[in-house]
Structure 1
Amino acid sequence: MKQLKNLSRYLWILILAILLVLVIVLLWNIYAPISSEEMLLKINMGDTAATIAEKLEQNGIIRSKFLFRTLASMRGTDKHLIAGTYTLGGKHNLLQTLKMLEEGNVTAVRVTIPEGFSLYQTLHRLERSGLASYEDLYKAATNPEFVFQLTGFKVKSLEGFLYPDTYAFDPDVTVQEILSTMTRNFFDTLKKAKIDPYAIDNFYDILILASIVEKESNYPEERQLVAGVIYNRLKAGMKLASCPTVNYILEQQGIKKKVLSFEDTRIPSPYNTYINYGLPPTPICNPSLSSIMAALNPAQTDYYYFVSDRDGRNDFSRTAEEHLAKTKKYRRKEWE
């Protein structure tokens, strides 16, 4: 009898524990914010809570479409969600998202462009936000007349000029307004740093160099050294042999690699600095102010090489022999 009582007590404890876990999971799904890219989401007249929940889950704005439908039904709003174009995502929980749809809130779209994003990555992120299509953005960003109008430089595209930052756009913003805002931010940032690009004869080359510095170094404090190495190699008539320039080529093909193969370094392209001398024809990303400053003020050293160590920092060398030894050492550590 005592054993039955103990078994019954353990069973109740187990049931209560399971219920507690379920309640915690339920509350977490409702109240824990989920981080996602902000985007425009259009809710049409007649869309049901189930249809809306499907859209939200597919775009990573909520974790559970079932819970969204259930909560909307419990609140009596499942058939009264307001149609319109919404800015959703960011960092909101399920309940906050549901309330926005109940109240009909429509706000500006916030888009964050990280430092070092290329034109390709930037335009795709803008497209995912729902503001405009990649094709329309790309057409404008590579229109020589429009590019000259925004930058004052006769160059192929806005690559390098779309300053990395967080932007808030109105839902009905045009493609031209998006690109104008980002380019204006680039020039405003330079102005605040007391940099006049039109007073620098080779500024576009400096911007190209800065874009390579940005991709070669994650740490602002070493970027002047990286810039110094690039300048030293250019002056010595050496090929830059920069992996990011090859990654830029692969990126256009939808390929992303941590380590390049020998075949990759042989790709015939004016951007491939393993086979071509000098700088690539355009920037390979939109660099930060830190990288632009480094390109304008490179460190004066006798370094000609650098290799990334195990922590992602660059180790600089003066000779090819020293560089090869360090390269072998770091690769060997990666295999351990």
Structure 2
Amino acid sequence: MVRLLKYTFFFISTALFLALLMYIYIIIPHPVGKEKTVFIQKGKSLKEISSILEKEGIIKDGNIFLIYSLLRNKPLKAGYYRFKGAYSVKDVWDILYEGREQIYPFTIIPGEDLFDIAEKLESEGFVKKREFLDYVLNRKNVEKSGLKGISFEGYFPPETYFLSKNSDVEYIVKAFLKEFKKKYLPFKEQFEKKGIAFYKGMIIASMVEKESPVDEEKPVIAGIIIKRLKKNMPLQIDPTVIYSLKLEGRWDGKLGGDIMRFDSPYNTYINKGLPPTPISSFSLESLKAVLNYRETDYLYYFSPDGKRHIFSKTYREHLRKLKKYR
């Protein structure tokens, strides 16, 4: 009986000691040192996650993290996580359980189109270019989002977004559209009051964006585009030819000659009216320029330096100025 009591006391004491030791491991912070980013891939087991965290120095003992995770019995979220400072096992588990993952900045610059955005998303490690383009050039996905158009071109505002590198295409698109609905959609009512369909305004704004980086010129250029449309004149805007070539995977950085006659509904040299969709992202300044376009006597313009434009009232005047500057 005495021996049994001794063994019982030994086991209880040992169990209490181990429990106390584990408790200390769980609540005492472990210093990570310099900032570290850890990627927890989808489908990783608790044992694999524990091993990764120990290997990266986020926790001291992976087995303690594994036992604690099994006791909590709740799923941990995949993603990129940033650690800096000191963390207990409980701290790290809470971060992974709540999905407080690392996010990265992604910037869309005014005038970038879906193809530019796709390239950057892939090069910066967010999503594959082809996967993104297959989604955003699909009319059904546009309709599913309750939007007009045959693609998402023009719906992704120039802005710095903060995205997870564990996101799928649909999540990224929703992040872009959230910004559009917040900052751009409120102008729809103002366009309709002026008798301009909002989507038409978006298409013109994208051409204005591609034509001029100078904000004070934009209302003048918007006015010329609208005036040409009213006169049933071809717009003859070079970036629409470039966009038509990009759609076919044929853009090589060169314009001129026969390529200006490239057969596409986007080519405003061979087609009158607007292209089917916007041809790029555009700033709020470009959208406001269309809303508040300036009526002038001008019908033609060109840029001698790629920045500011020279405007003309007649084609003869336009040719004369072209000859002078070239």
Shift of 1:266: 1.0
| Secondary structure in structure 2 of the residue aligned to 1:167 | strand
| Alignment partner of 1:284 is 2:279 | yes
| Alignment partner of 1:213 is 2:200 | no
2:255 maps to 260
Shift of 1:196: 5.9
| Secondary structure in structure 2 of the residue aligned to 1:263 | helix
Residue 328 of structure 1 aligns to which amino acid in structure 2? Answer: K
Provide the rounded CA distance (Å) in 1 between the counterparts of 2:300 and 2:133.
Answer: 35
Provide the rounded CA distance (Å) in 2 between the counterparts of 1:209 and 1:193.
Answer: 14
| Secondary structure in structure 1 of the residue aligned to 2:184 | helix
1:204 maps to 199
2:163 maps to 169
Distance change (3 Å), C-alpha of 1:135 and 1:188: same
Distance change (3 Å), C-alpha of 1:187 and 1:323: same
Q: Residues 223 and 291 of structure 1 are in contact (CA less than 8 Å); yes or no, is this contact kept in structure 2?
A: yes
Q: Residues 307 and 326 of structure 1 are in contact (CA less than 8 Å); yes or no, is this contact kept in structure 2?
A: no
1:190 maps to 184
Q: Residues 135 and 141 of structure 2 are in contact (CA less than 8 Å); yes or no, is this contact kept in structure 1?
A: yes
Provide the aligned length of Structure 1 versus Structure 2: 239
Larger Cα-atom Rg: 2
Q: Which of 236, 241, 248 in structure 1 is aligned with 2:236?
A: 241
Q: Residues 310 and 330 of structure 1 are in contact (CA less than 8 Å); yes or no, is this contact kept in structure 2?
A: no
Could you tell me which runs of 5 or more consecutive residues in structure 2 were left unpaired when the two chains were aligned. Answer: 1-36, 42-54, 59-77, 83-100
| Alignment partner of 1:308 is 2:289 | no
Shift of 1:87: 8.9
Superposition CA RMSD, Å: 2.9
Percentage of matched positions with identical amino acids: 37
For residues 165-221 of structure 1, what are the alpha-carbon distances to aligned partners after superposition, in whole Å with 9 as ceiling and x for unaligned?
111112322211110110120121125668567877621111111111000001111
Provide the rounded CA distance (Å) in 2 between the counterparts of 1:315 and 1:208.
Answer: 23
Greater Cα offset, 190-199 or 274-283: 190-199
Could you tell me which runs of 5 or more consecutive residues in structure 1 were left unpaired when the two chains were aligned. Answer: 1-39, 45-79, 89-105, 332-336
Q: Residues 197 and 203 of structure 1 are in contact (CA less than 8 Å); yes or no, is this contact kept in structure 2?
A: yes
- Normalised to the residue count of structure 1, the TM-score between the two structures is 0.64
Provide the rounded CA distance (Å) in 1 between the counterparts of 2:301 and 2:180.
Answer: 29
Distance change (3 Å), C-alpha of 1:188 and 1:312: same
Provide the rounded CA distance (Å) in 2 between the counterparts of 1:196 and 1:323.
Answer: 34
Provide the rounded CA distance (Å) in 1 between the counterparts of 2:57 and 2:282.
Answer: 41
Shift of 1:309: 2.2
Shift of 1:311: 5.8
2:49 maps to none
Provide the rounded CA distance (Å) in 2 between the counterparts of 1:308 and 1:300.
Answer: 20
Q: Which of 117, 120, 125 in structure 2 is aligned with 1:125?
A: 120
